[in-house]
């Protein structure tokens, strides 16, 4: 069972994450801190496998702390939690040694997926960020559809559920949901049914 240390200075959010970790049944929350002052000592005494670390603590940003932790505890995994979705924050956190970058505004099921992904040895970046970047990396035309979203639209047109789309495309369920959210906004629709009606026109462009 993976041993997790949580560091977040927002009591309500921290309590929610504590419950999420406890309810998973697959991880053990060995410490919950509101700042990073005693973090290194806590990691040593608890033999933690993963630190879930708030990027913006009252004592300052956590970039340097991530680098220090990785130097002192090379096997330690670090999942960053942040309100910042700007590329410079994500890049700096990952370059500092973070194994994952999740947004606080993500659904709790996405945060649970982030924890599992990092513990399995993968590098996690919030699907919300990935979906947003994919849209804005596309060609200038408003009618252009990035390849991944085109694949999702084709699956949706075939009547596949979100879970079936994730399985067929080999991506995470939260990633599918976030791509759909972006598509809803782009095409000004409220749900899958309304989007499905527009798919033939979208795919013709």
- How far is the C-alpha of 61 from the C-alpha of 79, rounded, in Å? 14
Are residues 43 and 136 located together in one domain of the fold?
no
CATH number for the domain harbouring residue 134? 1.10.10.10
64-81 tens-digit pLDDT: 999 999 999 999 999 999
Are residues 43 and 74 located together in one domain of the fold?
yes
pLDDT at residue 11, as a whole number: 92
pLDDT at residue 131, as a whole number: 53
pLDDT at residue 118, as a whole number: 93
Are residues 88 and 144 located together in one domain of the fold?
no
**Neighbour-count burial of 3, counting CB atoms closer than 10 A to its CB (0-12 exposed, 13-18 middle, 19+ buried):** middle
Are residues 102 and 193 located together in one domain of the fold?
no
Are residues 13 and 74 located together in one domain of the fold?
yes
Are residues 16 and 90 located together in one domain of the fold?
yes
List the one residue out of 50, 51, 58, 17 whose CA is nearest residue 34. 58
Are residues 120 and 138 located together in one domain of the fold?
no
Are residues 50 and 63 located together in one domain of the fold?
yes
How many domains is the chain built from?
A: 2
Please state whether the predicted TM-score (pTM) of the whole model is above 0.75: no
123-182 tens-digit pLDDT: 888 877 765 454 444 444 444 566 788 899 999 999 999 999 988 888 878 778 878 888
- How far is the C-alpha of 14 from the C-alpha of 52, rounded, in Å? 10
Q: Which domain holds residue 70?
A: 2-125
């Amino acid at each position: 069972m993976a041993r997790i240390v949580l560091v977040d200075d927002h009591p309500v959010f921290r309590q929610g994450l504590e419950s999420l970790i406890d309810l998973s049944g697959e991880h053990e929350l060995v410490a919950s801190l509101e700042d990073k002052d005693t973090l290194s000592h806590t990691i040593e005494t608890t033999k933690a496998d993963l630190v879930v670390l708030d990027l913006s603590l009252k004592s300052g940003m956590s970039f340097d702390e991530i680098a220090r932790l990785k130097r002192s505890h090379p096997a330690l995994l670090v999942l960053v939690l942040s309100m910042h979705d700007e590329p410079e924050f994500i890049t700096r956190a990952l370059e500092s040694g973070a194994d994952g970058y999740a947004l606080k505004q993500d659904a709790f099921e996405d945060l649970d997926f982030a924890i599992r992904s990092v513990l399995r040895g993968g590098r996690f970046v919030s699907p919300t960020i990935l979906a947003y970047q994919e849209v804005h990396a596309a060609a200038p035309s408003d009618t252009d559809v990035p390849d991944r979203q085109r694949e999702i639209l084709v699956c949706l047109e075939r009547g596949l559920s979100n879970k079936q789309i994730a399985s067929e495309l080999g991506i995470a369920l939260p990633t599918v949901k976030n791509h759909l959210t972006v598509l809803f906004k782009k095409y000004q629709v409220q749900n899958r049914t309304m989007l499905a009606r527009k798919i033939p026109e979208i795919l013709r462009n």
